[in-house]
């Protein structure tokens, strides 16, 4: 059993991660700006923002801390520095650090352009993609005392396309995964399965990996 803290544990990706980790009997703490009325048995819920240093300090009292906060709305421009602050606390405590970082920084083909640099990528998501790419770049510059993973879900991942749990997924590196029809999809449940699998059986140390069907 691992002690897992999820910052942003009531959002789309975070809530699925909390539920899957709890289902597998891990010790789970969910941190979000507000505590939900409906709570899962066995999960500790705490109110707090990733932007608050005391929250960051408390969050790393775990085996793994995962940031599942998107830099949109009032959080635009705040997630990157705050996530890096959490990572520094994790480094000092010997806690593994993970972050769900979006698909925008993935290459559309080996050595090809990044998804966020293509004409098809929506303008409304470009600032968010750049901010999460900044986090990835920062993580790659850190020394080996910080054990981290950065997860890029499928290009079509999101609450707008929830999909269904299949219990299956593929993982890759820096290139967008697509199916035979050129689609890149993944449900929230299956992303959570992939992340908890990574926590239970670590494979991607100090690496970004992508997950899709």
pLDDT in tens, 43-67: 999 999 999 999 999 999 999 999 9
**Residues 151/211, Cβ–Cβ less than 8 Å:** yes
pLDDT recorded at residue 213:
96
The residue extents of the domains of the chain are: 3-212
Q: Of 129, 167, 162, which Cα lies nearest the Cα of 13?
A: 162
pLDDT recorded at residue 153:
98
**Alpha helices (H) along the chain:** 12-23, 53-59, 79-93, 126-141, 188-200
Residue 211 CA to chain centroid, in angstroms?
11
Task: Work out the percent of the chain whose per-residue pLDDT is above 70.
Answer: 100
pLDDT recorded at residue 110:
97
* Residue 12 neighbours by CB distance under 10 Å: 18
Reply yes or no on domain 3-212 having CATH 3.40.50.720: yes
182 φ, ψ (degrees, to nearest 5): 80, 10
pLDDT recorded at residue 90:
98
Find all residues with CB under 8 Å of 61, minimum gap 6, and list them: 3, 5, 93, 95
Structure letter (DSSP) for residue 181: T
pLDDT < 50 stretches in the chain: none
pLDDT recorded at residue 122:
94
**Residues 135/144, Cβ–Cβ less than 8 Å:** no
């Amino acid at each position: 059993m691992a002690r897992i803290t999820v910052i942003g544990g009531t959002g789309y990706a975070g809530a699925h991660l909390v539920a899957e980790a709890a289902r597998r009997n891990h010790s789970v703490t969910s941190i979000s700006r507000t505590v939900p009325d409906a709570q899962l048995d066995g999960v500790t819920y705490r109110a707090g923002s990733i932007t608050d240093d005391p929250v960051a300090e408390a969050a790393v009292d775990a085996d793994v801390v995962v940031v599942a906060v998107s830099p949109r709305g009032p959080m635009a421009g705040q997630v990157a520095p705050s996530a890096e602050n959490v990572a520094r606390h994790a480094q000092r405590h010997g806690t593994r650090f993970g972050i769900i970082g979006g698909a925008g920084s993935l290459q559309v083909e080996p050595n090809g352009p990044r998804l966020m640099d293509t004409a098809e990528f929506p303008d409304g998501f470009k600032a968010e993609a750049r901010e999460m790419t900044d986090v990835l770049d920062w993580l790659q510059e850190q020394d080996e005392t910080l054990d981290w993973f950065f997860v890029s879900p499928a290009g079509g991942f999101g609450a707008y396309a929830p999909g269904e749990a299949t219990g299956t997924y593929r993982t890759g590196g820096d290139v967008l995964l697509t199916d035979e029809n050129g689609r890149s999809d993944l449900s929230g449940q299956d992303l959570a399965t992939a992340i908890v699998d990574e926590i239970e059986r670590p494979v991607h140390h100090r690496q970004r990996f992508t997950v899709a069907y």
